[in-house]
Structures are given as structure tokens and as C-alpha cells.
């Protein structure tokens, strides 16, 4: 029988029991802990790398970054060749991937029939799903012999003669396939999806009214895109480029397998090089002394810091586009 | 209109042609760029299939390592190793990722909530080799190379993916569900687990699939944690084999047999990765169609 | 006046479309020529008929208003005049739209040129995130490499004609989006004028603005009339009555297609309309 008396809410016996009664406090605590775990990881990675790179940090200080000789046996640890190598390959990758990625983004956002857009976009994103080590194997056995070698030979023969083009050292030989160029090109393929996906989203977020205004003034499709849509989304696209750069900096396996792994500084794209991630991966097994290990960890620390900074800048840029309020009107004369 | 400007424009047939030409040219170039972007995809897939299928057979998948003098053996040890590493990593990453997503959705505008979202993004952008180094300093220095360490490293890489997709899915579940449950007097945790999580389940599943796809091919972090091995082992405190590590070793090996085997491993990994990615996409599409 | 309700009157038979011939008689009598002629023009979105068989003239150097309840297809009709409907994937048009003596939908016509000749101002002001100067100069720059002094002159002229010059002459380099709503709309008008169009289409140009800004724009329209032909869509009947010379009354048919049920000199539409539905609308009995 259903009681017709109003039921009083049962008083709990103690604050602790009350708190635990519905499980809310533990629940909130657990999820807060998990959230903290994520933040903690980001901080923790930095902290641990900082701690374990102390020997070389203390010993060499900033000269670690500019010292060009890397001689573990002689206990000389200069990271400059790797920093430059990383910068070179990343630069090549950006120069190739940016126009291509932007072109893809424009095509998908502005021109492609809507049905195709999701499919083609997905296929481009699949490029990012292929593991780095598979890119590396493809690089060694297929891409270098079939594409990079002929290309490099062509560039070397055409532009690499020091007597004819003394101010153009980037295509000078000798050239054996594994090179900064090879690594840069493969990196370009790997970061293209990042650049194109972000740029595409940025372009799709540009308000329709902007395009209509341009078209109504008699612009062609291209003029609308180039002069109105792209400028509107520029900061977001820039963010995408920076994220792509961040990815390129940290790529390990593909680069290691095709860059040649020679710690020399050369102005030529066609000579073998070395990147920060590659030297860590390659020489890890050989690092016997604490200083050697510390040096490699310090390189890891450098990677961490740059990646962190680039990520922050990029996210802020991409975020700023979505926040921009294009709404005109609604007000005073 | 007879202003000087109007007169100037009406005579500009050549300029109009140029504008039209530039328009067609540039638009065509973007289409070309798209095609060009897809060439490497097709090329890699074709090569992986062509070169990998020759060494791929049942023996290859079920035998463990043998030296080349004895025929080269197979990759069963690596398959088991990857399964253990990824499985363990998932067990670690999925709960934490989901819980963190709950937090973010529950506190969308608080400083901590924003910080966590930001942290997730930053974490997903960290080079995987750096993550491996981190686990090395935390675990391996004390206890040596182990499967635990490898799993931890992979878990860190999976975490942002799971958190992100779960968060997106939770945001899509209607607030009314949550309010209905809370309005009935259900405590917060019950609301989340019985009402919102099932609604967001496809997001969690697709997130897991994508996260697994991401780490199945990861090599660099394992170099400092699980180290790799030629033995079949399920011991979690010892080094463990994995498919990508074996691929790397065999690809740079001078022996042609090993190279062929490397391609076969690539085929296995790529097939897995593609399957997971396409599957996740299909599930998401099916789900969004259902919700309409 | 509620705009959220779209009304279709229970009319037994859809009224026969106005023919160009009958409406042309109107203008011819006062010596006006038709800048634009719509000849049984219909607009379809896929299989759905949005605007049904419109035939009417738009007289040169006059302001023609299109009025009617929400959703009856006024904007669709307007956008057919500068081929902005082309942007919608499944839109198509039957019948003809004549600009002077050219059918603007003929395959050999250059849509880019048509849009220069027939300009448009939108409901919500949409200046580019560029400077005021660059906004106005955008159009002319598309067409020619114009020396700076001439460009400066063009910008000033357009801004003067849009009654904005005095307010912005000292801050031409400032972003166009930093202006108030009414100023932004006048900037958009200046931008449209800068390419020297022949016709200016205005799609509810004042609906996002306050009454003071609205009044300024209405005054502007009267001034612009001398140089341009203007077609304005508005849901504000008083505005149409104040500003326009000719008015087309549109209504939604039972099959949801929009139709022009009456076209006449504005004073007549608002004082002695021929169609009862028009009378009901303009006297505020519904809509």
C-alpha cells in the first residue's frame, strides 16, 4: 500500500557518510585525478627530461646547442649538427607540403562537390595514419631509388656544379640517395594531412557572407578565395603550418631510415644529415657513459620544449580564427 | 555610366580573358594538388601489398623468430608482443581518458577544464620519442627494459586520442538526458555511467580504435622501453617484441630475406591500421545517421 | 509585425501571372525604359518551385520594392537578378531575365561581368576584414591596375555617394569591421558603388539596423536613384511606401511557390491596390 504520508528525507549520520552516500565526492575526485594526470604528464615529461639531462646541461650550458662537433668517445657533445639537420629537413618538408596542403584544402573546402569532400578528405588523412616506420621502409626501398635518386642526380647535374653556381650550394654533390632531401620529401608527405586538414576546417569556417560579398562585386571564384577567404582564415592556416612543423620536428623512424645518419653540417640538401630524433634513436644503444646518455636526453629535452612551444602557438592561432566574430550590423548608426 | 572608370572597363576584353584564365588555372591547380597528395598514398599501399604478399603466409604468421640460415622464421612473437603491449596500454589509457573527458565536459569553462583540453592537445603533439625517453627515466633506469614500460609509453600516446573522441561524443549527447537523470535524483556518477556513457559509447569505441591504430605502428618510444626481442614471451617485466620494432630491424638488415619479411610485416600493420581507421569512420558515419 | 509567420491566403485559384506587356504599359506611359525585364521567370531548387512565373519590368533610375510576408521568395527573386542563385547547387531558372537587351542566363554571358553591372547589398553588413579603403577599393582593383591617385579619387567618390566620407575620411586605414552597424552597411554600399554598377540590389538592407541608421540609408537610396536603378526587398511596408517608386507584391501560393500578385506604382499599391490580398497585407491585416 502506498503511504500517503509525506516521506521525510532521511538525515545522514555524519558528514563523511553523507558525502560518500551518493558516490558523488569519490566520483568527482576520480575524474579530477584523471584530468590532473593529463596535466601531470605534460609537466612530468619536461621535469624528468630536465633532471636526467643535468650532467651535460651543467657541464656545457648553452654551448651544447651551438657546438658543432659530436664526438661521444672524446666526450664532446655538440647538438648543432642535429638541430640544423632537423631544421633543414623540416624546412624542406614545409616548403613542399604547404602549397600542396593549402591547394588540397582549397579544393576540398571551396570546389569539391560535397559528396566527395568527406571521402577525399578521409583519404588524405589516411596518409597520416600510416606508421612512420612503414614510410621509412618505403623510403629506403622504393621512394629513394625511384624518385629521390633521379631527382637529386638531375638537380646535382643541373645546378650543383660549384664553378657554375658558386652561390647555390644546396644542390651540390656527392649524392647517394640518403639525404636531407629524401628525409624532407618524405616528411612533406607525412605532414601534408595535418596542414590540409586544419586549413580546410579554417576555410570552411569563413562565413558565407564574405564569399557572397566578393562574388556580388564581380570577383571570380579564385579571386574570392585568394583575396577574401584566405586572408580571413590566415591566422588559422598559419596555426596549421606550425602544427605541421611540430610534427616534422619530432618524426623519428622515417627520417632515421632515409637521412643517412651522418653528423656533419653541410649546406647541400643532397648530402646525408642527421636529425635530433634520429640521433637519439640511433645512438641510444651505444650510449655507455652517463654523459652520453645525458647528452641524448638533453636533445630530447630540446625536442620537448620546441614541440611544446610550437603547439601552444599553433593552438592559439587556430583558436583565434574560430573566435573571431564576423557579425557586422545590429546597431548604431 | 560614362565616368572615366566605366569607359576604361568596358574596353578591357583582354583583361577579362586574363582573369578568366587565371581563375581556371588556379582552380585546376588545386585539383591537381589533391591528386598529387593522393599519389603517395596509392603508391605506398600498392608497394606494401605487392612486396609484402610474397613473404606473407600462414607459417610466417605463426612461427617465431629463426635466424636467416634456418629460413628466417616468422613473426608470431612480434604479433603476441604487439597484442600484449597495445592491450595493456589500452587498459591503462581508456579508463583514464574517459574519466578525464568526463571532467572536461563537466567543467567546460573552468580554468582547469580549459587547461586539461589544452594539455590534451599538447600531449598529442609531443614527439613519440620524447614520450619513450620519459618512461625510460621513470621506469627503465631502475628496472630495466620491460613490456610494462612499453605499455606505459604507448598508453601516454593513446590517452589524448581517447580523451578527445570521448569528449566530442559526450558533448553531442543531449543535455536533456543528463538533466532527466539528475532530475530523477540520480547521483552524478550514476548519471554519467548509466546515461551519458552509453550514449557516448560509439565515441569511446571509435576513439579506442583510432588510438590503437596510432600506437600499433609506433616504433620510437619502444626503443627505450620494451626494447624488442626475438623471443616469444609474455613476461611483462622483460623486453618484449613488437611488430614495428621487428619491421625496423628487418628493413635495415642487409639480408634480402629479412627485407622481404619487413614488407610482410608492413602489410600486416598497414592492413590493421587501415581496418581500424576505416572502421572507426564507418561507425561514426552510421552513428550520425542514426542520430538524425 | 511578425516575420516568423508565413501566410498563404486560401485562394481558390492561383492568380494569373502578370505579363510583361501589361506592366510595361505602366512605365511606357511615363517615358520610362525597363532596365531589367523578367519574362515568366521561375526559380526551382531541385524539384521544388520557389518562385513562380514572374513577369515584370524594373524601370531605370527608379526604386522598385518587393514586399510580402516572410518566406514568400522575395530574396530568391532578388538573387535571380544577379545570378547569386547560381551558388546554390540545385537551383535552376526557367524563363528569361533581360538586362537591357541581354538575357543574363544565356550560356555565353559572363556571370562575373553581370555581377559587376548588377551589384548587391546584403541583409547583414558584410565588410571584409580589411581597411575601409581596401574594402571600397577591392572591386576596382579586380579590374585594373589603377594608379593610386585615381584610386584615392574613386574611393572618396564612392564614400561620398554613400554618405560616409565625412565620418571616415580620417580613418580610411582602419578596419571596416570597426565601424558601427549602420556605417558598415553604408560602407558596403560604397563598396558596391565603387565598381560602377548599373543596378543595385538591396536585400532587406536595414533589417539589422536601428531606426536612425535606417533613415540614413533610406535617404541615401533616394539620392542614389539618380545614378542607379535600385531594387529593394523589404518586409517593412512603411519603408517601401516611403522610398520606392514601384512596388511588387509577392505572396506564397498553396503549393509554397512565391508569386508576384500585383505590380504597380507605389502610391497606387498602398492607396488603391487592385488585389484584395495586397490590400489586406498593406493595411496590416496580416503579415
Q: What are phi and psi of C66, to 5 degrees?
A: -115, 120
Chain C contact present for A212, CB below 8 A: yes
Distance CA C169, CA A218 (A): 26
Please indicate, yes or no, whether residues B22 and B98 belong to a single structural domain of this protein. no
**Chain A from 66 to 85: CB within 8 A of any C CB:** none
The arithmetic mean of pLDDT across residues C151-172, rounded, is 93
Q: Across chain B, what does the average pLDDT equal? A: 87
Listing DSSP states for C93-130 in one string gives: EEEEEEETTEETTSTTS-HHHHHHHEEEE-SS----SS
Contacts with A227 from chain C: Cβ below 8 Å: 138
Q: What is the pLDDT of residues A137-185, one digit of tens each?
A: 999 999 999 999 999 888 888 887 777 777 777 888 788 888 999 999 9
- Other C-beta atoms closer than 10 Å to the C-beta of B182 total 14
pLDDT(A119) > 50: yes
> Do residue B126 and residue A281 have CB atoms under 8 angstroms apart?
no
* Confidence band for A319, pLDDT divided at 50, 70 and 90: confident
The share of chain A scoring above pLDDT 70, in percent, equals 89
Selection from A20-24, A75-79, A258-262, B39-43 with the highest mean pLDDT:
B39-43
A122: nearest CB among B118, B122, B281: B281
Closest CA to C249 of C234, C239, C228: C234
Domains in chain C, number: 1
Q: Report which secondary-structure segment, H or E, holds A76.
A: strand A76-77
**Burial grade of B215 (CB within 10 A; 0-12, 13-18, 19 or more):** buried
Closest CA to B209 of B167, B173, B165: B165
Contacts with C126 from chain A: Cβ below 8 Å: 207, 209-210, 212-213, 326, 328
Regarding predicted confidence, which is higher, A7 or A316? A316
The answer to whether the beta carbons of residues C129 and C179 sit under 8 Å apart is no
Please indicate, yes or no, whether residues B136 and B278 belong to a single structural domain of this protein. yes
Distance CA B155, CA B221 (A): 11
Please indicate, yes or no, whether residues B83 and B223 belong to a single structural domain of this protein. yes
Please indicate, yes or no, whether residues B13 and B145 belong to a single structural domain of this protein. no
pLDDT given at position B24: 93
Domains in chain B, number: 2
* Confidence band for B276, pLDDT divided at 50, 70 and 90: very high
Closest CA to B41 of C178, A121, C51, C205: A121
Please indicate, yes or no, whether residues B225 and B265 belong to a single structural domain of this protein. yes
The arithmetic mean of pLDDT across residues A39-50, rounded, is 93
> Do residue C139 and residue A217 have CB atoms under 8 angstroms apart?
yes
Any domain includes C81: yes
Cell numbers placing C150: 585615381
- What is the distance in angstroms between the Cα of A196 and the nearest Cα belonging to chain C? 23
State the alpha helices, DSSP H only, in A160-233.
Answer: 180-205, 208-216, 221-224, 230-232
pLDDT(C282) > 80: yes
Q: What is the pLDDT of residues A237-277, one digit of tens each?
A: 999 999 999 999 999 999 999 998 888 888 888 889 999 99
Range of the domain at C101: 20-127+198-282
Chain A contact present for B219, CB below 8 A: yes
C143: nearest CB among B3, B12, B20: B12
Q: What is the pLDDT of residues B200-251, one digit of tens each?
A: 787 888 889 999 999 999 999 999 898 888 888 888 888 999 999 999 999 9
Interface test with C, best of B5, B11, B17, B27 (most C CBs within 10 A): B5
Chain B contact present for A37, CB below 8 A: yes
Q: At what angle do helices B111-125 and A24-52 cross, to 10 degrees?
A: 40
pLDDT given at position A325: 45
Any domain includes C273: yes
CATH code assigned at B144: 1.10.3720.10
pLDDT given at position A96: 96
Contacts with C138 from chain A: Cβ below 8 Å: 214, 217, 227
Q: Strands, E, within B117-225: which ranges? A: none
* Confidence band for B162, pLDDT divided at 50, 70 and 90: very high
Chain A residue with minimum CA distance to B23: A222
Cell numbers placing A323: 573566435
Contacts with B7 from chain C: Cβ below 8 Å: none
pLDDT(C132) > 90: yes
pLDDT(C24) > 60: no
- What is the distance in angstroms between the Cα of B202 and the nearest Cα belonging to chain A? 19
Range of the domain at B29: 4-54
- What is the distance in angstroms between the Cα of C158 and the nearest Cα belonging to chain B? 12
Cβ-based contacts under 8 A for chains A and B = 249
Distance CA A169, CA C282 (A): 79
Superfamily of the domain at A90-278: MetI-like (1.10.3720.10)
Q: Report which secondary-structure segment, H or E, holds C216.
A: helix C211-224
Return the exposure string of B63-93: e unless at least 16 CB atoms fall within 10 Å of the residue's CB, then b. bbbeeeeeebbbbbbbbbbbebbbebbbebb
The answer to whether the beta carbons of residues C4 and C283 sit under 8 Å apart is no
The arithmetic mean of pLDDT across residues A191-215, rounded, is 94
Please indicate, yes or no, whether residues B21 and B125 belong to a single structural domain of this protein. no
Contacts with B152 from chain A: Cβ below 8 Å: none
Please indicate, yes or no, whether residues B50 and B67 belong to a single structural domain of this protein. no
> Do residue A216 and residue C191 have CB atoms under 8 angstroms apart?
no
The chain C residues in contact with chain B (CB within 8 A) are 110, 112-113, 116, 140, 142-144, 146, 150, 154, 196, 198, 227
* Confidence band for C11, pLDDT divided at 50, 70 and 90: very low
Question: What's the pTM?
Answer: 0.85
Peptide bond into B128 cis (omega under 30): no
Amino acid at each position: 500500500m502506498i503511504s500517503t504520508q509525506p516521506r521525510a528525507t532521511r538525515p545522514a549520520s555524519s558528514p563523511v557518510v553523507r558525502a560518500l552516500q551518493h558516490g558523488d565526492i569519490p566520483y568527482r575526485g576520480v575524474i579530477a585525478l584523471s584530468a590532473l594526470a593529463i596535466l601531470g604528464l605534460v609537466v612530468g615529461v619536461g621535469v624528468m627530461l630536465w633532471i636526467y639531462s643535468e650532467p651535460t646541461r651543467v657541464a656545457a650550458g648553452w654551448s651544447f646547442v651551438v657546438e658543432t662537433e659530436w664526438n661521444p668517445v672524446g666526450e664532446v657533445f655538440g647538438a648543432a649538427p642535429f638541430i640544423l639537420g632537423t631544421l633543414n629537413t623540416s624546412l624542406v618538408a614545409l616548403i613542399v607540403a604547404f602549397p600542396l596542403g593549402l591547394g588540397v584544402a582549397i579544393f576540398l573546402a571551396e570546389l569539391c562537390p560535397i559528396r566527395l569532400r568527406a571521402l577525399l578528405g578521409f583519404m588524405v588523412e589516411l596518409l597520416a595514419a600510416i606508421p612512420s616506420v612503414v614510410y621509412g621502409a618505403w623510403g629506403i626501398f622504393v621512394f629513394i631509388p625511384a624518385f629521390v635518386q633521379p631527382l637529386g642526380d638531375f638537380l646535382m647535374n643541373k645546378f650543383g656544379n660549384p664553378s657554375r653556381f658558386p652561390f647555390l650550394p644546396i644542390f651540390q654533390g656527392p649524392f647517394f640517395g640518403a639525404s636531407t632531401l629524401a628525409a624532407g620529401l618524405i616528411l612533406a608527405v607525412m605532414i601534408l594531412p595535418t596542414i590540409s586538414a586544419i586549413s580546410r576546417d579554417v576555410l570552411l569556417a569563413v562565413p558565407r557572407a564574405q564569399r557572397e560579398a566578393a562574388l556580388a562585386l564581380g570577383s571570380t571564384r579564385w579571386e574570392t578565395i585568394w583575396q577574401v577567404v584566405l586572408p580571413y582564415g590566415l591566422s588559422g592556416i598559419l596555426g596549421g603550418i606550425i602544427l605541421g612543423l611540430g610534427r616534422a620536428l619530432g618524426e623519428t623512424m622515417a627520417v632515421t631510415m632515409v637521412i643517412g645518419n651522418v653528423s656533419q653540417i653541410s649546406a647541400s640538401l643532397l648530402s646525408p644529415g642527421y636529425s635530433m630524433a634520429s640521433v637519439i634513436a640511433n645512438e641510444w644503444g651505444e650510449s655507455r657513459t652517463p654523459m652520453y646518455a645525458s647528452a641524448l636526453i638533453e636533445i630530447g629535452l630540446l625536442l620537448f620544449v620546441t614541440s611544446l612551444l610550437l603547439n601552444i602557438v599553433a593552438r592559439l592561432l587556430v583558436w583565434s580564427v574560430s573566435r573571431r566574430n564576423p557579425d557586422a550590423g545590429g546597431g548604431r548608426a | 555610366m560614362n565616368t572615366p572608370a566605366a569607359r576604361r572597363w568596358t574596353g578591357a576584353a583582354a583583361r577579362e580573358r586574363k582573369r578568366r584564365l587565371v581563375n581556371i588555372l588556379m582552380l585546376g591547380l588545386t585539383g591537381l594538388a589533391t591528386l598529387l597528395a593522393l599519389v603517395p598514398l596509392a603508391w605506398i599501399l600498392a608497394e606494401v601489398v605487392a612486396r609484402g604478399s610474397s613473404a606473407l603466409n600462414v607459417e610466417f604468421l605463426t612461427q617465431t623468430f629463426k635466424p636467416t640460415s634456418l629460413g628466417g622464421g616468422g613473426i608470431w612473437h612480434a604479433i603476441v608482443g604487439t597484442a600484449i603491449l597495445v592491450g595493456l596500454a589500452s587498459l591503462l589509457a581508456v579508463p583514464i581518458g574517459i574519466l578525464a573527458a568526463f571532467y572536461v565536459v563537466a567543467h567546460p569553462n573552468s580554468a582547469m577544464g580549459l587547461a586539461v583540453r589544452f594539455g590534451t592537445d599538447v600531449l598529442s603533439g609531443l614527439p613519440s620519442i620524447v614520450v619513450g625517453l620519459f618512461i625510460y627515466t621513470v621506469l627503465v633506469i631502475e628496472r630495466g627494459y620491460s613490456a610494462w614500460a612499453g605499455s606505459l609509453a604507448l598508453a601516454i600516446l593513446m590517452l589524448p586520442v581517447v580523451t578527445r573522441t570521448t569528449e566530442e561524443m559526450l558533448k553531442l549527447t543531449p543535455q536533456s538526458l543528463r538533466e532527466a537523470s539528475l532530475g530523477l535524483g540520480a547521483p552524478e556518477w550514476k548519471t554519467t555511467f548509466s546515461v551519458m556513457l552509453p550514449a557516448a559509447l560509439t565515441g569511446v569505441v571509435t576513439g579506442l580504435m583510432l588510438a590503437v591504430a596510432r600506437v600499433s605502428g609506433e616504433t620510437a618510444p619502444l626503443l627505450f622501453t620494451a626494447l624488442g626481442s626475438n623471443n616469444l614471451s609474455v613476461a611483462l617485466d622483460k623486453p618484449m617484441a613488437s611488430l614495428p620494432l621487428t619491421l625496423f630491424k628487418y628493413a635495415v638488415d642487409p639480408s634480402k630475406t629479412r627485407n622481404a619479411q619487413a614488407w610482410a610485416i608492413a602489410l600486416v600493420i598497414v592492413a590493421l591500421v587501415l581496418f581500424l581507421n576505416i572502421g572507426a569512420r564507418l561507425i561514426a558515419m552510421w552513428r550520425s545517421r542514426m542520430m538524425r | 509585425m511578425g516575420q516568423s509567420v508565413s501566410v498563404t491566403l486560401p485562394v481558390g485559384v492561383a492568380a494569373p501571372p502578370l505579363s510583361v506587356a501589361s506592366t510595361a504599359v505602366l512605365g511606357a506611359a511615363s517615358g520610362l525604359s525597363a532596365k531589367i525585364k523578367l519574362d515568366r521567370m521561375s526559380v526551382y531548387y531541385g524539384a521544388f518551385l520557389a518562385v513562380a512565373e514572374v513577369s515584370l519590368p524594373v524601370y531605370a533610375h527608379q526604386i522598385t520594392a518587393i514586399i510580402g510576408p516572410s518566406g514568400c521568395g522575395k530574396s530568391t527573386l532578388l538573387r535571380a537578378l544577379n545570378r547569386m542563385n547560381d551558388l546554390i547547387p540545385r537551383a535552376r531558372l526557367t524563363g528569361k531575365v533581360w538586362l537591357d537587351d541581354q538575357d543574363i542566363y544565356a550560356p555565353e554571358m559572363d556571370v562575373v561581368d553581370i555581377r559587376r553591372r548588377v551589384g548587391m547589398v546584403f541583409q547583414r553588413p558584410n565588410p571584409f576584414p580589411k581597411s575601409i579603403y581596401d574594402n571600397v577599393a577591392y572591386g576596382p582593383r579586380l579590374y585594373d591596375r589603377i594608379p593610386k591617385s585615381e584610386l584615392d579619387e574613386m574611393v572618396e567618390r564612392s564614400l561620398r555617394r554613400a554618405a560616409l566620407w565625412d565620418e571616415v575620411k580620417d580613418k580610411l586605414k582602419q578596419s571596416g569591421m570597426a565601424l558601427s552597424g549602420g556605417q558598415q552597411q553604408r560602407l558596403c554600399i560604397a563598396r558596391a558603388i565603387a565598381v560602377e554598377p548599373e543596378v543595385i540590389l538591396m536585400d532587406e538592407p536595414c533589417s539589422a539596423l536601428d531606426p536612425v541608421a535606417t533613415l540614413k540609408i533610406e535617404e541615401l537610396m533616394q539620392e542614389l536613384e539618380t545614378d542607379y536603378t535600385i531594387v529593394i526587398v523589404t518586409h517593412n511596408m512603411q519603408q517601401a511606401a516611403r522610398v520606392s517608386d514601384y512596388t511588387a507584391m509577392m505572396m506564397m501560393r498553396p503549393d509554397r511557390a512565391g508569386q508576384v500578385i500585383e505590380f504597380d506604382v507605389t502610391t497606387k499599391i498602398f492607396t488603391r491596390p487592385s488585389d484584395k490580398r495586397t490590400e489586406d497585407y498593406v493595411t496590416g491585416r496580416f503579415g
